[in-house]
């Protein structure tokens, strides 16, 4: 379970105002909101890349304030892939494994297992700059999953991809959620993505979580005018 309790942070012009959020373990949670609503910052707070100005973040009932990102056991996938441009695909995926005391053979097996899962084994010796967007995002997913994180954080992972690749990767992500049994927090502005992938959806507007529920519940008109307007449900 990931819990945010009254979390506030201001970064330059942007701020989150006492956000409360509970994400039960094993769920596929989608944070849905317009651009600039603070979605990415929520992920970066969970990962520990920022510290909240106020409030607490708990992972499995443990306050993680003092736990640095490298010890939180989260995997992170960005919209722009953020692959290490100076390392080839093999080294990108094995980056986290190499920092731990794992034998070369074991590292190799884990990498090959992942690259087969994502169908990118033929790219191992290439460098990120020479890959297509879809390929890069698959590498980025493989890299995040290499350490078998309990929590996978994804920031608009499909937004930069063309429709075909998007559909294909959506299915792969669904499969990951089933096979890896991790909690996924997926930030998006795409209703369709949230609707088809998530088991729970949270709507964020103006730095605040306005509504949380299953896709079925959230995509029904329920009276919150701002949310309805954002979802295009409001008649008024």
Residues near another protein (CB under 8 A) are: 44, 47-49, 68-70, 72, 74-76, 78, 80-86, 95-96, 99-100, 128-129, 136, 143-144, 146-147
| Tokens 């507007």 found at | 205
First-to-last C-alpha distance (Å) of the chain: 38
Give the tokens for residue 84: 């290490």
Q: Which is nearer to another protein, 106 or 217 (CB)?
A: 106
Of 128 and 157, the one with the shorter C-beta distance to another protein is 128
The interaxial angle of helices 133-145 and 89-98, nearest 10 deg, is 20
Supply the minimum distance, in Å, between the C-beta of residue 213 and another protein.
29
Closest contact distance (angstroms) between CB of 168 and another protein is 20
Query: How many angstroms separate the CA atoms of 150 and 35, rounded?
Result: 27
- In whole angstroms, how far apart are CA 122 and each of 2, 115, 140, 201, 212? 37, 9, 15, 36, 41
- To another protein, the closest distance from the beta carbon of 165 in angstroms equals 16
Please state, in angstroms and rounded to a whole number, the distance separating the CA atoms of residues 99 and 104: 12
Supply the minimum distance, in Å, between the C-beta of residue 233 and another protein. 34
Output 48 or 52, the one with its CB closest to another protein. Answer: 48
> Given the complex with another protein, which of 86 and 105 has the nearer CB atom?
86
Opening angle at CA 40, ends 175 and 180, nearest 5: 20
Nearer to another protein, 48 or 134 (CB): 48
CA pair distance 157, 119, nearest whole angstrom? 18
Q: Give 104's DSSP letter.
A: H
- Between residues 95 and 191, which has the closer beta carbon with respect to another protein? 95
DSSP 161: S
Report in angstroms how near the CB of residue 150 gets to another protein at its nearest. Answer: 12
> What minimum distance in Å lies between the beta carbon of 88 and another protein?
13
Cβ 16 vs Cβ 8: under 8 Å: yes
In total, the chain counts a number of residues equal to 236
Closer to another protein by CB, 129 or 223: give it.
129
CB of 95 to another protein, least distance (A): 5
């Amino acid at each position: 379970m990931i819990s945010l309790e009254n979390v506030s942070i201001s970064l330059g012009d942007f701020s989150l105002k006492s956000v409360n959020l509970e994400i039960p373990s094993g769920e596929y949670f989608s944070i849905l909101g317009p651009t600039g609503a603070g979605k990415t910052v929520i992920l970066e707070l969970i990962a520990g890349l920022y510290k909240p100005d106020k409030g607490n973040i708990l992972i499995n009932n443990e306050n993680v304030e003092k736990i640095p990102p490298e010890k939180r056991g989260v995997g992170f996938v960005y919209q722009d892939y953020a692959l290490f441009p100076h390392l080839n695909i093999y080294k990108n995926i094995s980056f986290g494994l190499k920092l731990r005391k794992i034998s070369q053979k074991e590292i190799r097996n884990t990498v090959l297992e992942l690259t087969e899962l994502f169908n990118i084994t033929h790219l191992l010796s290439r460098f990120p700059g020479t890959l297509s967007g879809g390929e890069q995002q698959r590498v980025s997913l493989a890299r995040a999953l290499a350490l078998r994180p309990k929590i996978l954080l994804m920031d608009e992972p499909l937004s930069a991809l063309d429709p075909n690749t998007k559909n294909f990767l959506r299915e792969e992500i669904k499969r990951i959620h089933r096979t890896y049994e991790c909690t996924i927090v997926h930030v998006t502005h795409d209703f369709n993505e949230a609707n088809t992938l998530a088991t729970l959806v949270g709507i964020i507007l103006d730095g605040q979580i306005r509504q949380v529920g299953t896709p079925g519940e959230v995509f029904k008109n329920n009276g919150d005018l701002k949310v309805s307007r954002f979802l295009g449900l409001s008649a008024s």
